[in-house]
């Protein structure tokens, strides 16, 4: 029996770059969304990218009930997710390195 990690805890990678969380939270607030920080573990794209050297927190997509027979997304939710991503790009461009 060999036990290997298949899901990574991305916190250890993202915590080294707190500005990415700060920018995401600010972008959400600017779009009238109150951010909820929750630990998540699993095979998310954000976790995979973080462990490949690109720290990447998970953001909302506007969907609900993921990976079940009642999974859905609203047009309004997708529009809001796009607004947040655009705002993240704007805030990142304004940031001084």
SS3 for the chain is CCCCCCCECCHHHHCCCHHHHHHHHHHHHHCCCCCCCCCCCECCHHHHHHHCCCCCCCCCCCEECCCCCCCEECHHHHHHHHHHHHHHHHHHHHCCC
- Tell me the domain boundaries of the chain: 11-94
Q: What is the pTM of this model?
A: 0.83
CATH architecture of the region 11-94? Orthogonal Bundle (1.10)
Q: pLDDT truncated to tens, each residue of the chain (97 aa)?
A: 998 877 777 888 888 999 999 999 999 999 999 999 887 766 788 888 888 899 888 888 889 998 899 999 999 999 999 999 999 999 999 987 5
Q: How far apart are CA 25 and CA 59, in angstroms?
A: 10
């Amino acid at each position: 029996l060999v036990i290997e990690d298949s899901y990574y805890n991305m916190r250890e990678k993202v915590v080294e770059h707190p500005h990415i969380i700060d920018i995401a939270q600010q972008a959400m607030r600017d779009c009238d969304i109150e951010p909820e920080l929750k630990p998540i573990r699993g095979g998310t794209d954000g976790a995979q990218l973080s462990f490949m050297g690109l720290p990447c927190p998970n953001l909302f997509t506007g969907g609900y009930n993921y990976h079940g027979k009642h999974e859905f997304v609203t047009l309004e939710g997708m529009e809001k997710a796009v607004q947040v991503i655009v705002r993240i790009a704007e805030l990142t461009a304004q940031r001084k390195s």
